[in-house]
């Protein structure tokens, strides 16, 4: 619920009305961004999902190749690191052992390291060349929520910095920055769906499984939705790119398998209508978070309309209803939302 406020704190003093202030990333950032030809992102859990979304932005908007990998794999294998690679770690705590080990293993081979982190003075911040603090404030719960959306804001700012060097005009930059200024009110509109989503959650709390679908940068949002549901309600959930449904997971769909889709745009919605028929034919229920008036409610289809959002902000805004869905499912099931069993806030071993 704090997210409209904390994303403001992430942007505070780092953007003007229409420009990014590059010095926010630390001394020497501009020179290092000038030299960057490739980005490698490393993170774990929710922070990894933020990295997957950033890949779409960095490649689409900045036109720079970007690789993303979980730190728990990256740290244990050999790497071919292209010249002039900017190495980015993302972490709420700044103490995640796998992420720290990945940074230490690769530090000498990269142009520079940059961490997007929520805890000032943490190990990742101290050991990285550059940092951008997310300023989300302490998270009470184990499962990252506001850390995730503020990481995305920071990563979008980084995308602007890189894109400036690769053809982003001042007008395009101003457009992105103005969009970021609208973000708190767009997130608030998402939070206002709370009561509505609480009702939807009743259909989830009694199920044992769920599928989440998304396309493009909304696919990692679906992954994050599935992770949140697993973490706090212990309902088994998997995410797939929407187009993959027919390549296997459709076999799982029946009336016991709700399918959640984040589908703000028309291109996906057209495909989705075909998916819907497939899900309906198998007695499954489809839950769709879509843009205003993009798709109508019908039998077997529960639609929740989201505010219209600039495309580059969709992953941030569409995260909110999925977090709320998991939250309410967990409350209905009676699990401990803040302290899920078997999980630690900071995985330091």
**Residues involved in catalysis:** 345
Nearer to ligand F1P, 102 or 111 (CB): 102
Tokens, residue 89:
């770690």
Stretch that binds ligand F1P, among 78-86, 88-96, 172-180, 235-243 (CB under 6 A): 88-96
Strands 259-263 and 301-306, sheet pairing: unpaired
Comparison of 231 and 285: residue with beta carbon closer to ligand F1P: 231
**Dihedrals phi, psi of 20, to nearest 5 degrees:** -90, 140
d(CA 296, CA 303): 7
Total residue count of the chain as it appears in this document:
349
Q: How many residues of this chain interact with ligand F1P, rule: CB under 6 A? A: 16
* Residue 72 sits in the site that holds ligand F1P (CB under 6 A): no
Strands 130-133 and 259-263: unpaired
Rounded to a whole number, what is the largest CA-CA distance in the chain?
58
99 binds ligand F1P (CB under 6 A): yes
Q: Choose between 29 and 117: whose C-beta lies nearer to ligand F1P.
A: 117
Residue in 3, 38, 46, 113 binding ligand F1P, rule: CB under 6 A: 46
Task: Pick out residues in 131-150 that bind ligand F1P (CB under 6 A).
Answer: 142-144
70 forms part of the interface with ligand F1P (CB under 6 A): no
Residue number closest to ligand F1P, CB atom:
45
313 lies in the binding site for ligand F1P (CB under 6 A): no
Q: Confirm or reject binding of residue 347 to ligand F1P (CB under 6 A).
A: yes
Share of the chain residues as helix, strand and coil, in percent rounded to the nearest 5:
50, 15, 35
Stretch (H or E) spanning 85: strand 85-91
- Strand, helix or coil for residue 227: helix
- For ligand F1P, the binding residues (CB under 6 A) are 44-47, 91-93, 96, 99, 142-144, 343, 345-347
């Amino acid at each position: 619920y704090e997210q409209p406020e904390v994303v403001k704190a992430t942007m505070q003093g780092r953007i003007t009305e229409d420009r990014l202030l590059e010095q926010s990333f630390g001394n020497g950032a501009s020179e290092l961004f000038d030299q960057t030809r490739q980005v490698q992102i490393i993170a774990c859990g929710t922070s990894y999902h933020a990295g997957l979304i950033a890949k779409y932005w960095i490649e689409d908007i900045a036109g720079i190749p970007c690789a993303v990998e979980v730190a728990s794999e990256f740290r244990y294998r050999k790497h071919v690191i292209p010249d002039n690679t900017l190495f980015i770690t993302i972490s709420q705590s700044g103490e995640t052992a796998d992420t720290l080990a990945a940074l230490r293993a690769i530090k000498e081979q990269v142009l520079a390291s940059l961490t997007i982190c929520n805890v000032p003075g943490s190990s990742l911040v101290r050991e990285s060349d550059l940092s951008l603090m997310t300023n989300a404030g302490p998270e009470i719960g184990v499962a990252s929520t506001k850390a995730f959306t503020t990481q995305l804001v920071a990563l979008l700012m980084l995308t602007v910095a890189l894109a400036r060097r690769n053809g982003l005009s001042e007008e395009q930059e101003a457009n992105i920055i103005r969009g970021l200024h609208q973000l708190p009110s767009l997130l608030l509109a998402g939070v206002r769906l709370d009561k509505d989503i609480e009702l939807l959650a009743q259909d989830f709390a009694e199920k044992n499984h769920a599928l989440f679908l998304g396309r493009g940068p909304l696919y990692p949002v679906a992954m994050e939705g599935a992770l949140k549901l697993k973490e706090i309600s212990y309902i088994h959930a998997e995410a797939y790119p929407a187009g993959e449904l027919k390549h296997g997971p459709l076999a799982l769909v029946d009336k016991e398998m709700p399918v959640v889709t984040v589908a703000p745009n028309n291109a996906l919605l057209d495909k989705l209508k075909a998916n819907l028929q497939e899900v309906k034919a198998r007695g499954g229920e489809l839950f769709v978070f879509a843009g205003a008036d993009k798709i109508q409610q019908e039998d077997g289809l529960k639609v929740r309309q989201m505010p219209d959002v600039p495309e580059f902000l969709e992953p941030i805004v569409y995260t909110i209803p999925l977090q709320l869905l998991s939250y309410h499912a967990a409350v209905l099931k009676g699990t401990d939302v803040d302290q899920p069993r078997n999980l630690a806030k900071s995985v330091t071993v």
